[in-house]
Amino acid sequence: MHKIEVKNLTKIFGGNPKEGLKRLQAGEEKTKILKETGMTIGVDNASFYVKQGEFFVIMGLSGSGKSTLIRLINRLIEPTSGEVLIDGENITTMNKKELIAIRRKKLSMVFQNFALFPNRTVQENVEYGLEIQGHPKDDRAKKAIKAIHDVGLKGYEASYPNQLSGGMQQRVGLARALANDSDILLMDEAFSALDPLIRKEMQDELLRLQNKLGKTIIFITHDLDEALKLGDRIAIMKNGSIVQLGTAEEILENPANDYVSNFVEDVDRSKVLVAGQIMKQPDLITTWKDGPRVAVRKMEEAGLSSIFVVDKDKQLKGILTIDAAINAYKENKWVEDVLEHDFHSTTFDTPLNDLIGIAAESRFPIAVTENNRLLGIIVRVSILSGLILGKEQKEAIL
Amino acid sequence: MNYFFFPLEDWTNQFVDNWLLPVLGDFFNSFSGVLSIFINAVTNLFTFIPAEVIAIILALLAWRFAGKGMAIFTIIGALYLGSVDLWTGAMQTLSIVIVATFFSIVVGIPLGILTAKNRTLDHIVRPILDFMQTLPSFVYLIPAILLFGLGEVPAVISTFVFATPPAVRMTSLAIKQVPADIVEAAKAFGSTSWQLLVKVQLPNAIPTIMAGINQTIMLALSMAVIASMIGSPGLGSIVLSGISSVNVGLGLTGGLGIVVLAIILDRITQGLGKKA
């Protein structure tokens, strides 16, 4: 038995869904049904299963029915036909009481626009699920505070949602879902409203939490890169139907149809990525104001063994290793006196392929420069991930 | 256009004379009696408490909810009401407003919640509210006298009729305006309908509901004045006697009293809505 099983799930919006269903099953085109009856097919005969602890991503563009599909799973939208089994129990035939019980115990949801209760503090928001179940106050406070710490919002318990940034608000949304201790997380475009840097951070955070907590996650997104990064398996939706379902590799290597390959093309471009697209903002020290002591502290903070040094005009002066910096500090030398120069530098337009060899033999990050001005640095990991997923880093530096 | 004659007038009169009064007359009488006790209790309370105490309480409320300026205005207004010998009248009007508003809220807010949740009920209630708001008040002042006699009771009843619609409408609007996504979130976590209402919808609807209550109070005040025509005591009756004796000074004196009372009530309840 799988954690979640979806069988022939269909949702038709409009006046007479039974007739729509009949037409749909008779094989009529969706556009024809819409034209003649005014009914929209939200989800068309979707079937899939999700394993215990699996990270299942449903990807599609807007209007593809993915948000409808996720709401059919916890029955925020009533299905027209088909079944949703959660731990073998059919949610589509449950009465109101059973439905409320299963939503409380097994299904938690995170929303695109956070959907936090504006009149409640962070902690009260996170406690909501437990509160309506009638948990005693100190018990739910304890669980809520733990969830808040888990998502890295320690210290914000008493804040109100409108005092937080978007990324922090979604952390609250996540904590609210986690506090419930349900084994299934439904995430509806949970990170789509966040800017790229914060989104990446949240993705990493979610993967970390998933590793730790082993939840079963259904994650909706319109972003293929996000899908590839997060999903154990990915379902791609178009016009209410699932057009392909498989692991990231399967989908990349073997797109089921033009629709999917159109998406995947975007990813293939990563093979022609250039240095400028995968470089990242370096941790820097500047000769005219930072001494060796600052350099050591910066490296320690960032967990680096070396750091690039620039002057006032961002002209690259050299690279400082942590050992050299400590020596300079002890012997009271200037940073300039202990710099090393045997790092590689490259230009913004150098293709990624040309950098692989250099990266392998160099013990320092590669500097991306223009007229000896430091634009960014490339570490080995960026090259590797750049080869797999291109666009994300691109977004991250924009 | 008179292709046929529609004897609405006769029918209505026959209905009232032959059925409403003989059959339900006693019921209305006893209802009237109960309501009258309630109104008198409130009026007695307000006239029993020394004017100075009430003025200070009002000023404190004004200070708390509408600021220092409004507190000063309240004191000046109270001094004015006292100096033109209208304090008792103002308290009588205030009592009618408070009792009518109380009933309007008790009926209006639950009804507003129900209409927000039930579309059929909404379709039924809406034309009734239109009717209550647009029908000239004199039209129901007449049957109010027949059923409830003269005095405060028909005043409260007709004030209730006139002042309830905004409470219903604004409550309904307030509930509908609660963002759909937080309602969805509440449902997704397994809220019962009651929990959804009490924990999510009502707390987020309060500012708009308070605006509705403010409107209810204002309408109640304007109606309490008109109701002086059916023998309701208070500031309205001062104005009425000013009109009937062509005494411009008396009319203005009473009219200003009403304005003072209106401003104080309005600012306090508005502030209450903003603070909530």
Q: Which two tokens stand for residue A398?
A: 């924009």
- Within-domain flag for B270: yes
Distance CA A81, CA A25 (A): 11
> Domain limits at B155?
12-275
Sort strands A184-188 and A216-221 into parallel, antiparallel or unpaired: parallel
Q: What is the pLDDT along chain B (276 residues), one digit of tens a residue?
A: 889 889 888 898 888 888 888 888 888 888 888 888 989 999 999 989 999 999 999 999 999 998 899 999 999 999 999 999 999 999 999 999 999 999 999 999 999 999 999 999 999 999 999 988 888 888 888 888 888 888 888 888 889 999 999 999 999 999 999 999 999 999 999 999 999 999 999 999 999 999 999 999 999 998 888 888 888 888 989 999 998 999 999 999 999 999 999 999 999 988 887 766
Average pLDDT of the segment spanning A29-58: 89
Residue B194, Cβ neighbours under 10 Å: how many?
9
Distance CA A273, CA A378 (A): 13
Is the dihedral angle over the CA atoms B51, B52, B56, B59 positive or is it negative? positive
Q: In A363-385, which positions are buried (b, 16+ CB within 10 angstroms) versus exposed (e)?
A: ebbbbbbeeeebbbbbbeebbeb
Where residue A322 falls among pLDDT bands split at 50, 70, 90? confident
Q: Looking at CA atoms only, how far is residue A131 from chain B in angstroms?
A: 10
CB-neighbour burial class of residue A288 (10 A; exposed 0-12, middle 13-18, buried 19+): exposed
- Within-domain flag for B4: no
Task: Inform me whether the C-beta atom of residue B205 falls under 8 Å from chain A C-beta atoms.
Answer: no
Distance CA A68, CA A348 (A): 43
Are residues A133 and B190, on separate chains, in Cβ contact within 8 Å?
Answer: yes
The pLDDT assigned to A156 comes to 92
Q: Which two tokens stand for residue B90?
A: 């103002």
Where residue A330 falls among pLDDT bands split at 50, 70, 90? confident
The pLDDT assigned to A124 comes to 94
Task: Inform me whether the C-beta atom of residue A100 falls under 8 Å from chain B C-beta atoms.
Answer: yes
Q: Which of A244, A170, A192, A221 is nearest to A67 (CA)?
A: A221
Q: Which residues of A touch B199 (CB under 8 A)?
A: 128, 131-132
Distance CA A48, CA A233 (A): 11
Identity of the residue in B182, B188, B190 whose CB atom sits nearest the CB atom of A117: B182
Are residues A76 and B187, on separate chains, in Cβ contact within 8 Å?
Answer: yes
Instruction: Give the residue, A132 or A1, on which the prediction is more confident.
Output: A132
pLDDT tens readout for residues A225-239: 888 888 889 999 988
- Within-domain flag for B126: yes
Contact criterion met (CB below 8 Å) for B225 and B243: no
Distance CA B207, CA B54 (A): 27
Instruction: Give the residue, B247 or A270, on which the prediction is more confident.
Output: B247
Q: Which residues of B touch A113 (CB under 8 A)?
A: 181
Distance CA A171, CA A188 (A): 14
Instruction: Give the residue, B109 or A265, on which the prediction is more confident.
Output: B109
Q: Does domain A52-76+94-106+182-268 have CATH number 3.40.50.300?
A: yes
Residue A236, Cβ neighbours under 10 Å: how many?
27
How many A×B Cβ pairs under 8 Å? 59
Where residue A258 falls among pLDDT bands split at 50, 70, 90? confident
- Give the three-class secondary structure for A384: helix
Identity of the residue in A113, A116, A132 whose CB atom sits nearest the CB atom of B189: A132
The pLDDT assigned to A273 comes to 62
Task: Inform me whether the C-beta atom of residue B203 falls under 8 Å from chain A C-beta atoms.
Answer: yes
The pLDDT assigned to B52 comes to 92
Contact criterion met (CB below 8 Å) for A41 and A24: yes
Sort strands A316-321 and A306-310 into parallel, antiparallel or unpaired: antiparallel
Identity of the residue in A105, A111, A132 whose CB atom sits nearest the CB atom of B181: A111
Q: What is the DSSP string of A200-263?
A: HHHHHHHHHHHHHH--EEEEEES-HHHHHHH-SEEEEEETTEEEEEE-HHHHHHS-SSHHHHHH
pLDDT tens readout for residues A77-136: 999 999 999 999 999 999 999 999 999 999 999 999 889 999 999 999 999 999 999 999
Are residues A128 and B199, on separate chains, in Cβ contact within 8 Å?
Answer: yes
| pLDDT, chain A, mean | 84
Are residues B185 and A131, on separate chains, in Cβ contact within 8 Å?
Answer: no
- Within-domain flag for B39: yes
ipTM over 0.90: no
Task: Inform me whether the C-beta atom of residue B188 falls under 8 Å from chain A C-beta atoms.
Answer: yes
Q: Which of A208, A205, A237, A199 is nearest to A220 (CA)?
A: A237
The pLDDT assigned to A269 comes to 47
Q: Where in chain A do CATH 3.10.580.10 domains reside? A: 275-397
Q: Which residues of A touch B201 (CB under 8 A)?
A: none
Tell which of B177, B189, B191, B202 to mutate to test the A interface (max A CBs under 10 Å).
B189
Task: Inform me whether the C-beta atom of residue A186 falls under 8 Å from chain B C-beta atoms.
Answer: yes
Beta bridge partners of A12: A41
Give the neighbor-by-neighbor strand order of the sheet with A306-310.
Answer: A284-286, A306-310, A316-321
Instruction: Give the residue, B240 or A384, on which the prediction is more confident.
Output: B240
Average pLDDT of the segment spanning A141-170: 91
Spell out the residues 6+ positions from residue A331 whose beta carbon is closer than 8 angstroms to its own. Answer: none
Distance CA B173, CA B177 (A): 6
Please report the beta strands in chain A, taking only residues with DSSP state E, as ranges in sequence order.
4-13, 40-50, 55-60, 81-86, 89-90, 107-110, 184-188, 216-221, 233-238, 241-246, 284-286, 306-310, 316-321, 345-346, 366-370, 373-378
Q: Which residues of B touch A101 (CB under 8 A)?
A: 190
Evaluate if residue A247 carries a pLDDT over 80.
Answer: yes
Are residues A109 and B188, on separate chains, in Cβ contact within 8 Å?
Answer: yes
Evaluate if residue A391 carries a pLDDT over 60.
Answer: no
The pLDDT assigned to B148 comes to 84
Task: Inform me whether the C-beta atom of residue B275 falls under 8 Å from chain A C-beta atoms.
Answer: no
Closest chain A residue to B203, measured at CA: A119
Are residues B190 and A129, on separate chains, in Cβ contact within 8 Å?
Answer: yes
Identity of the residue in A74, A111, A118 whose CB atom sits nearest the CB atom of B204: A118
Q: In B156-188, which positions are buried (b, 16+ CB within 10 angstroms) versus exposed (e)?
A: bbbbbbbbbbbbbbbbbbbbbebeeebbbbbbb
Closest chain A residue to B181, measured at CA: A115
**DSSP tally for chain A: helices H, then strands E:** 17, 16
The pLDDT assigned to B145 comes to 83
Amino acid identity of residue A201, one-letter, is E
Spell out the residues 6+ positions from residue A218 whose beta carbon is closer than 8 angstroms to its own. Answer: A4, A50, A56, A57, A58, A70, A73, A184, A185, A186, A187
Where residue A267 falls among pLDDT bands split at 50, 70, 90? low
Spell out the residues 6+ positions from residue B129 whose beta carbon is closer than 8 angstroms to its own. Answer: B164, B165, B168, B169
Q: Looking at CA atoms only, how far is residue A107 from chain B in angstroms?
A: 7
Task: Inform me whether the C-beta atom of residue B185 falls under 8 Å from chain A C-beta atoms.
Answer: yes
The pLDDT assigned to B73 comes to 95
Residue labelled with tokens 């530096």: A397
Closest chain A residue to B204, measured at CA: A119
Are residues B190 and A113, on separate chains, in Cβ contact within 8 Å?
Answer: no
Q: What is the DSSP string of B74-140?
A: HHHHHHHHHHTT-HHHHHHHHHHHHHHHHHHHHHHHHHHHHHHH-HHHHHHHHHHHHHHHHS-HHHH
Task: Inform me whether the C-beta atom of residue A115 falls under 8 Å from chain B C-beta atoms.
Answer: yes
Q: Which residues of A touch B197 (CB under 8 A)?
A: none
Residue labelled with tokens 């005040």: B221
Q: Which of A68, A69, A31, A27 is nearest to A47 (CA)?
A: A69
Q: Where in chain A do CATH 3.40.50.300 domains reside? A: 52-76+94-106+182-268
Where residue A366 falls among pLDDT bands split at 50, 70, 90? confident
Architecture of domain A275-397: Roll (3.10)
Terminal CA-CA length for chain A: 45
Are residues B191 and A132, on separate chains, in Cβ contact within 8 Å?
Answer: yes
- Give the three-class secondary structure for A370: strand
Task: Inform me whether the C-beta atom of residue B199 falls under 8 Å from chain A C-beta atoms.
Answer: yes
Q: What is the DSSP string of A136-172?
A: -HHHHHHHHHHHHHHTT-TT-TT--GGGS-HHHHHHH
- Within-domain flag for B2: no
**Residue B161 exposure: Cα atoms within 13 Å on the Cβ side:** 20
Are residues B181 and A129, on separate chains, in Cβ contact within 8 Å?
Answer: no
Angle between helix B21-48 and helix B137-148 axes, rounded to 10 deg: 100
CB-neighbour burial class of residue A27 (10 A; exposed 0-12, middle 13-18, buried 19+): exposed
Q: Which residues of B touch A176 (CB under 8 A)?
A: 189
Residue labelled with tokens 């999903």: A231
Residue A293, Cβ neighbours under 10 Å: how many?
13
Q: Which residues of B touch A131 (CB under 8 A)?
A: 199
Helix/strand/coil percentages in chain A, nearest 5: 45, 25, 30
The pLDDT assigned to A257 comes to 80
Percent of chain A's residues with pLDDT above 90: 35
Are residues B189 and A119, on separate chains, in Cβ contact within 8 Å?
Answer: no
